[in-house]
Amino acid sequence: MKFPVAAITGLDHVDLRVSNIMDIWTDWNKLGFQIAPPSVNRTEGVASCAVAFQDGTYIAISGPIAKGEVFRHTVDAGVNAALLRVNNRDEAVMQAIAAGLTIKESFEFSRAIEVNGTDEQITFKLASILCPDQESDIQEIMLIEHVTPQWIWRDDMMTHANDAQGLQEVVVPCSHPESLQPLYARLLGDARVQLINGVLRLDCGNAIIQYMRPENTGLERYAETAERPGRVVVYGSTGERTEDLPGQAGELKFVS
């Protein structure tokens, strides 16, 4: 089944914000993940790294630099967003406008990484779709095209000791999930977008996104360590278990 915005191919990645990059990097390794070393953008004041999977999804981990140290503090620690992948950003923008959606911004973003001792640039083309509900804490939906996918999905970074193969589900906290329903219906189609008991469930083809009010996520125990605690479910791992997301940013579930 094609999406109404035909350039969409599914869930691309979950955007995770954390508070200390070096501790986070070590903790992901302890959980059995291969994680790319952090790259620092001092102009933007941000450091980033990623956990990439064989199924073409990934977890982007990022946060600010403060006082010369990476990720000392961030005001929005937790699961910040789930981005949809498009095979052509410009075509996706035209299709979204034709579907009656408002494009807030289109832009290109790059960051430097080191690959086998060589400096490379990861480049993305992005577009944000405006959410008209001014009271919602989520004001935009992001679409992303990868210009340099080879630097995210590297063979040496996709084999994990825990055998995880990809993202199965992401729970994103949202103050007004119902405000996003009409936008996603125009992007993904009515059949893939369900609002049930205040929970917005999206079938992205390759994974599920759920938007829930914070009080409905069952993640209150992370209130002191994350402003936006969420849940990330990875599949293909050996054994089913539940762990804390590194940095106490929410819950990490492993399913086979």
Ordered by start, the domain boundaries in the chain are 8-255
Please list, in sequence order, all residues whose beta carbon lies within 8 angstroms of the beta carbon of residue 45, skipping any fewer than 6 positions away: 64, 65
SS3 assignment for the chain: CCCCCCCEEEEEEEEEECCCHHHHHHHHHHCCCCCCCCEEECCCCEEEEEEECCCCCEEEEEEEEECCEECCCCCCCEEEEEEEEECCHHHHHHHHHHCCCCEEEEEEEEEEEEECCEEEEEEEEEEEEECCCCCCCCCEEEEEEECCHHHCCCHHHCCCCCCCCEEEEEEEECCCHHHHHHHHHHHHCHHHEEEECCEEEEECCCCEEEEECHHHCCCHHHCCCCCECEEEEEECCCCCEEEECCCCCEEEEEEC
pLDDT tens track for 85-142: 999 999 999 999 999 999 999 999 888 888 888 888 999 999 999 998 888 999 999 9
Distance CA 18, CA 231 (A): 14
Question: Virtual CA dihedral for 93, 98, 103, 105, nearest 10 degrees?
Answer: 30
pLDDT number for residue 108: 96
Model confidence, pTM = 0.93
Contact criterion met (CB below 8 Å) for 102 and 129: yes
Q: What is the pLDDT along the chain (256 residues), one digit of tens a residue?
A: 689 999 999 999 999 988 767 667 789 999 999 998 778 776 767 788 899 999 999 999 987 765 444 444 444 789 999 999 999 999 999 999 999 999 999 999 888 888 888 888 999 999 999 998 888 999 999 999 999 999 999 998 999 999 999 999 999 999 999 999 999 999 999 999 999 999 999 999 999 999 999 999 999 999 988 999 999 999 998 889 999 999 889 999 999 9
Predicted confidence at residue 200, as pLDDT, reads 98
Contact 121, 138 (CB under 8 A): no
Q: What's the confidence (pLDDT) of residue 72? A: 43
Question: Does domain 8-255 bear CATH number 3.90.1150.10?
Answer: no
